Chains A and B, each alone.
Chain A
Amino acid sequence: MPHAVETQSLTRIFRPKKKKEGSVVTALDSVDLRIERGELFGVLGPNGAGKTTLLKILSTLLLPTSGKAYVAGLDVEKDLTAVRERINMVSGGEISGYGLLTVRENLWMFSQFYGIKSKEAHARIEELLARFGLSSKAKAKVRTLSTGERQKMNVIRGFVTNPEIVFLDEPTLGLDVNAARAVRDFVMDWVQSDRNRTVLLTTHYMMEADELCDRIAIIDGGKILACDTPNNLKKTVKMNTTLTLSVYGLGGINGFDNIPGLNSYTSYKDVESGTTKLRFVLEDESCVSEIVSEVVSKGSRIMSLQKTEPTLEDVFIKLVGRGLA
Chain B
Amino acid sequence: MTESYLLKNLRAVRGRAYPRLIGSTREPSWFIFDVILPLFTIAGYAYVYKFLDARAELIGYVVLGGAMTAFWLNILWSMASQLYWEKEIGNLPLYLMAPISRMSILAGMAVGGLFETTIQAAMTLAIGAIAFNVVFSLASPVMLIVVFVVTMIALYGMGMMFASLYLLLGREAYHLSALMMEPVYFASGFYFPVKHLGFWAAAGASIIPITLGLDALRQIIFPGGTEDAFLSLNTEVALLSGLCVVFMILSRYALRYMEYLGKTTGRLTLRWQ
A26 touches B (CB below 8 Å): no
A261 CB → nearest B CB, Å: 50
Which applies to chain B's interface (DSSP): helix, strand, loop or mixed? helix
- Given A105-B18, A108-B15, A112-B14: A61 touches B100 (CB 8 Å cut-off): no
A116 interface residue per 8 A CB criterion: yes
Residue of B nearest to A53 (CB): B266
Complex alpha-carbon distance, A84 and B259, angstroms: 15
A113 contacts the other chain (CB 8 A): yes
Contact with A along B1-25 (1 / 0, CB 8 A): 0001001110110111011001100
**Residues A115 and B22 in contact in the complex (CB < 8 Å), given A81-B99, A95-B90:** no
**Which of A30-38, A96-104, A232-240, A285-293 touches B?**
A96-104
List B contacts of A110 (CB < 8 A): 15, 94
How would residues 35 to 64 of chain B score, 1 for a CB under 8 Å from any chain A CB and 0 otherwise? 000000000000000000000000000000
Interface size on B, residues (CB 8 A): 33
Q: Report chain B residues within 8 Å CB of A62.
A: 263, 266, 269
State whether A112 touches B12 (Cβ < 8 A).
Answer: yes
A17 CB contacts on chain B under 8 angstroms: 265
Chain A 138-168 near chain B by CB (<8 Å), digits 1 or 0: 0000000000000000000100000000000
B93 in complex: contacting residue of A61, A63, A81, A108, CB < 8 Å = A61
Asked whether B99 lies within 8 Å of A115 as measured between CB atoms, the reply is yes
The proximity string for B residues 69-104 relative to A, scoring 1 for CB distances below 8 Å and 0 otherwise, is 000000000000000000001110111111110000
Q: How far is the CA of A98 from the CA of B85 in the complex (A)?
A: 11
Taking CB atoms and an 8 Å cut-off, the chain A residues in 107-129 that contact chain B are 108-118
Asked if B155 is an interface residue, CB under 8 A from chain A, the answer is: no
- Any B CB within 8 A of the CB of A60: yes
Q: Flag if A115 contacts B97 (CB, 8 Å).
A: no
- Complex Cα–Cα for A115 and B16 (A): 12
Q: Of the candidates B9, B15, B99, B265, which one forms a contact with A84 in the assembled complex, judged by CB atoms under 8 Å apart?
A: B99
A63 to B97, CA, bound (A): 13
Contact yes or no, B94 A56, CB < 8 A: no
Whether A109 contacts B90 in the complex (CB less than 8 A), given A60-B97, A84-B99, A115-B100, comes out as: no
The verdict on A84 contacting B98 (CB below 8 Å), with A94-B90, A115-B7 known, is yes
Given contacts A14-B266, A88-B97, 14 further A-B contacts (CB under 8 A): A53-B266, A84-B97, A84-B98, A87-B97, A95-B89, A95-B90, A101-B18, A109-B16, A110-B94, A112-B14, A113-B95, A113-B98, A115-B7, A157-B94
Give the 4 A-B residue pairs with the shortest CB-CB distance, closest first: A115-B8, A112-B15, A84-B99, A113-B98
